[in-house]
Amino acid sequence: MTMAAVMETPVAMATASRIARVDVISDFSAAEAIWRSLETSEQLSTPYQRFDFQSAWQTHIGVQEGLKPFIIIAYDAAHQPLMLLPLAVSRENGMRVAGYLGGKHVTFNMPLFRRDFAAQATKADIDALLRRIQKHTETVDVLALVRQPKSWIGIDNPLALLPSQASTNDCPVLNMVPGEAPTDRISNSFRKRLKTKEGKYRNLAGYRYMHAKTEAEVKRVLDAFFAIKPLRMAEQNLPNVFAEPGVEAFIHQACTTPRADGYTIDIHALACDEEVIAMFAGVADDNRFSMMFNTYTMSENAKYSPGLILMRTIIDAYAERGVTSLDLGIGGDDYKRMFCKDDEPIFDSFVPLTTRGKLGAMGLSSFAHAKRIVKQTPALLQMAQMLRHAFQR
């Protein structure tokens, strides 16, 4: 096994870089102004790293998990921010490990960059970043930077210059070309099948698609979600992760925090007067919709593939807005492959900052690599699932 994602502990050396200073902040409010300036469409970031998303997550979940924010801001010689790296510190096996905020609720992790810096960043810039972080991190041993996209809206992720390895899971993605015919996104035959299925719902009173735009609409869909999802997960012998401490409060806050064209987490649903038939929730910006969680009714209305009908409707709605890509989250579930034919390249990097951290970085890298082998090997995955179910009984 290669340790491709582990690098040597950074050492001080004179190298030309635009990074002149690095601050490490543990207070969200102190970082807010710079954070919001870097999350605009003129700069480079994913919607998962918005201030409102990350602060809500830390307030309701990170605090419960004992995580301390470790927000890294790099500046140029003119004291202008170049990037913000939103991390939090946890203790693992006696070491302090800094990883991205958002945990398993985030599909993609990436710093927020000033766009011109991201487009021109060099290895010297990343080396300088690590050296300057070290000066602030006497007690942080490892940076565990996981689920990072290799590029975003056509710009290479500067952190891809670090040693890396493929992430545990792939992420199916649908790439869309502005102005293309709807049948180029979803085949005509598939559309016809879904149209026939949707015909079964047309006679339901109040049947409609909705992008929840009011708090009342959000509340209706979330009430249905938190009632239905535990039942769906129990059907699959899966633990109810949405019952974990702070998760429901985080979702409620993020789904009701407004932004220019929706909420921090957007909700889409098929509904009728009687019930919510299916729902998807995710984050969006001008270029990408990324699904986070979903469910569908337990009633007889589940028979006609409401989740697939809703997904087709969401794809068409975002395509009409000029969005160029859409993903359904980590994992290769069959329904995702019906829509998403490509994979988003995502990678992990484990960076030791201290001598003690070298061993920890190697351990984290090895564990992640082993998990990927299990996920990519059907026989091993089946065995792991059987063991998980056995321990849950």
Query: Do the domains at 21-168+345-392 and 177-323 have one common CATH topology?
Result: yes
**What's the average model confidence in pLDDT over 379-388?**
53
Percentage of residues in the chain having pLDDT higher than 90: 79
Per-residue pLDDT tens digits for 120-160: 999 999 999 999 999 886 679 999 999 999 999 999 999 99
For 178-203, what is each residue's pLDDT tens digit? 999 999 999 999 999 999 999 999 99
Smallest CA-to-CA distance from 149 within 120, 126, 123, 118 is with 118
- Please name the CATH architecture into which domain 177-323 falls: 3-Layer(aba) Sandwich (3.40)
Average pLDDT over residues 368-373: 77
Q: How far apart are CA 152 and CA 250, in angstroms?
A: 26
Asked if residues 375 and 171 have their Cβ atoms less than 8 Å apart, the reply is no
CA distance 132 to 75: 11
Distance of CA 74 to the CA centre of its chain: 23
Q: Which pLDDT tens digit goes with each residue over 240-278?
A: 999 999 999 999 999 999 998 889 999 999 999 999 999
Q: Give the rounded percent of residues in the chain with a pLDDT score beyond 70.
A: 91
Q: Mean per-residue pLDDT for 13-40?
A: 91
Residue 335's pLDDT band, with cuts at 50, 70 and 90, is confident
SS3 66: coil
Token reading at 53: 């998303």
In this prediction, residues 291-312 reach a mean pLDDT of 97
Which pLDDT score, from 0 to 100, does residue 16 have? 84
pLDDT band of 15, cuts 50, 70, 90: low
Beta pairing partners, 72: 24, 85
**Share of the chain residues as helix, strand and coil, in percent rounded to the nearest 5:** 40, 25, 35
Supply the pTM of this predicted model: 0.91
Angle, CA 157 vertex, CA 155 and CA 161 arms, to 5°: 130
Rounded Cα distance between 244 and 229, Å, is: 13
The H or E element spanning position 342 is strand 342-344
Q: Alpha-carbon distance 296 to 135, whole Å? A: 50
Best CATH choice for the domain 21-168+345-392 from the list 3.40.630.30, 1.10.230.10, 1.20.59.10, 3.40.50.12710: 3.40.630.30
Q: Where are the domains of the chain?
A: 21-168+345-392, 177-323
